[in-house]
Chain A
Amino acid sequence: MGQGLDQTCRHTQNPDTGPVAWQRACHQCDLLLTRAHAPVGQSLLCPRCGASLHRNMDRSVAQTAALSLCGLLLFIPTATLPLLEFSLFSFGAENTLMNGVQALFAAGYIWLASIVLFCSVLAPLGKFLLLGFICWGSGWASMAGPVARALRWYHHLQEWGMLDVYMLGILVALVKMSDLGKMTVEPGLYCFVAMMVVASATSVSFDAETIWARLARRRAQSDAAERNQEEDTV
């Protein structure tokens, strides 16, 4: 951190020393930097505007792969088990991740139901799937194309996964209705909380730059292998 600023200033003070190897520009203020990556375990901040440019987590790929697999497994009980139960006199109703969306669909609120479905189910699920695929696929040079596409989709999907907001929604619903009837927490909610924590941990541990570096390395390896083969045949 801060190193970028020193180098930038040095360059601007001596413009005659020739072209500088610019590595990165801040995506929020367009400042050119001579450094592209943070050292392992640290993050690179823009020296001028303070934007977080790169966070280099130790063992990012392995951790992200493990966490996204864990999230996918947790998704199964979360989606099938009930989250909350509400009982009034002798009547009771349960809430699962999907039946709120179904009820809204049935009531004709299609747009609202789609947004809720997308933000609370599809986007988090898609994020886990994409990250799992990215981490796994980046090990093969031949998967470079699909992995690049998956990274782009992940970038667009990132902010639409709202498990944490949904969690707060559950809490508000829990408190709001507690004076009307009896609210009970069901096992699905514990799975949901675990999935939410795993989802945040996954997005923190993921680092796209590591994936790009890995893809470049694999491509170089396969190119070298091809060259060797050609030499052998000659």
Chain B
Amino acid sequence: MNRPARALSHGFWTCLGCRQLVRVSPQTQSCLCPRCGARMHGRIESSLMLTWALTITGALLLIPANILPVMTVIYLGAGEPSTIIGGALELYQNGLWGIALIVFVASIAVPVMKLVGLVILCLIVQWRLNVAPRQAMRVYRVVNAIGRWSLLDLFMISILVALVDMGAIAEVEAGAGSTAFATVVVVTMFAVRAFDPRLVWDVYEARLQASTAVKNKTHRETE
């Protein structure tokens, strides 16, 4: 059975900067793209290790990001520092459930989903799990698309800090949690960048090859 032709096994690399197809000799470790001049590799270099490292960093930073307060609204001298979850809950209790949902999705659901998605993708490649590659690609694309929306909360904080600044009457202050949260978003965006989805297909092809080899062997033995 013939499988669809894949670039790496045919001696081709794709430049990830300009997507130019380049023929390379088998010994080449890395080279510069002849069209755009970016450094090229067959697969993103140490992709799995980098993605693991950045994902774990993001997961660890998510703890201070959720425990420490991100923002304090001081009104007439009184105000409690609120965490990310607290901010969303407060909006919900004030009856603004639409905005509460947006904040919940952007700053709690998205980072958690992103980290879970990255761990799933890394595990598929690491343990060579038997997962349909199209499903894995769906996870990859969702993780890729939703990442930037978690910065919403931080933009809101930066707007409020400038807007509500009336000394003793009303003031909004940023909290230490916001720094941790910003780092989570940036680190996970880099993690998605570091992950090479072609590894998922490499695992898939390798498994198919192994199973056809076994089939051929048993076929020959029975003959």
Q: Which A residues are within 8 Å of any B CB, using their own CB?
A: 8-9, 11-13, 15, 20, 22-32, 36, 48-51, 53, 83-86, 88-89, 91, 93-96, 99-104, 107, 109, 111-113, 115-116, 119-120, 148-149, 151-152, 155, 159-160, 162, 165-166, 168-173, 175-177, 179-181, 208-209, 212
Shortest CB-to-CB span from B193 to chain A, Å, is: 8
Q: Which of B13-21, B111-119, B213-221 contacts A (4 or more CB under 8 A)?
A: B13-21
Looking at chain B's contact residues, the main secondary structure is helix
* A176 with B156, Cβ < 8 A, contacts A28-B197, A28-B198, A148-B35 known: yes
Instruction: Tell me whether A109 and B169 are in contact (CB under 8 A).
Output: no
Contact A181 B170, beta carbon cutoff 8 Å: yes
B152 contacts A172, CB within 8 Å? yes
Tell whether A179 pairs with B182 under 8 Å between CB atoms, given A12-B3, A22-B10, A165-B151: no
Q: Tell whether, in the assembled complex, residue B183 and residue A180 are in contact, meaning their CB atoms are under 8 Å apart.
A: no
Contact A93 B165, beta carbon cutoff 8 Å:
yes
Q: Which of B18, B158, B197 contacts A113 (CB 8 A)?
A: B158
Pair count A-B, CB < 8 A: 211
**Closest Cβ neighbor of A215 among chain B residues:** B35
Given contacts A30-B8, A111-B182, contact A100 B197 (CB under 8 A): no
Shortest Cβ distance from residue A45 to the other chain B in the assembled complex, whole angstroms: 12
In the assembled complex, how far is the CB of residue A108 from the closest CB belonging to chain B, in whole angstroms? 9
Interface size on B, residues (CB 8 A): 68
User: In this complex, what residue of A is CB-closest to B205?
Assistant: A30
Q: How far does the alpha carbon of A27 sit from the alpha carbon of B99 in the complex, in Å?
A: 37
A119 and B21 alpha carbons, distance in the complex (Å): 31
Q: Is B78 an interface residue (CB 8 A)?
A: no
